[in-house]
Structure 1
């Protein structure tokens, strides 16, 4: 899967691979393909209750075969809607993370937080640095793979 999508000028990213897009009176938030590509069979997606979430509070838990992703709120926000389709069709977070697989709709407690997010170019550079770090990481010859 590719991380680049045409027309993403308004989309912003966190270093933890969440995307945020302005929609209506707030933002829609979901996972990027960087997380989605690590998922296989998605068993469940646990989403927060409507209302306030503090910075680093649990935003969502994606329970997939062989991996579970615990996602944290990047900053204080107010959850206005959750994607109820994920309760019955959780695989959407893997197959359509920027479309029908969105997680929540929200508003920011502090609108200035938007300026702290990464734009497309900065996010792509971040992903590339992560990939290079993984590729260049020393291998332990005694470890079992």
Structure 2
């Protein structure tokens, strides 16, 4: 069963966003998304200093079932990537909201966080799917 932590924001394309409180965010895919994908076998992340544009592809996750694009939930500059996922992509399955994080961005506009779904709205969306 999927979990939906209340302290995160969400996208309709199943990315989660943690506001780090300093105009940066941490991004990953939701528990629901990793359940749909199945066993993750490869993760391709953007380069440092890549300019992410909200709604555009910026990462790729491959599983035993499919390859899935990951969309930037917000616009900003990539300041960190989770290098550990290169050697252990299954971490996305085991801990999607913790060690399975993917990217950290420095936001162009922190107010854009208000455009994302809160936990209740995301949970309602996936319940209706």
Same fold? TM cut 0.5? yes
Deviation at residue 11 of structure 1 after TM alignment: 1.1
Q: CA RMSD in A?
A: 1.5
In the alignment, is the contact (CA less than 8 A) between 2:15 and 2:71 conserved in 1?
no
Count of matched residue pairs = 127
Structure (1 or 2) with the larger CA radius of gyration: 1
In the alignment, is the contact (CA less than 8 A) between 1:18 and 1:29 conserved in 2?
yes
**Aligned residue number for residue 59 of structure 1:** 58
**Aligned residue number for residue 8 of structure 2:** 11
Work out which structure has the larger RCO, using CA pairs closer than 8 Å and 6 or more positions apart in sequence. Answer: 2
**Aligned residue number for residue 139 of structure 1:** none
Q: Deviations over 1:39-84 (max 9, x none)?
A: 3332210000112112333221001112111111123121110000
TM-score normalized by structure 1? Answer: 0.80
Residues of 2 paired with 1:17 and 1:4: CA distance? 11
Gaps of 5+ in 2: none
Stretches of 4+ moved more than 3 A in 1?
Answer: none
Gaps of 5+ in 1: 131-145
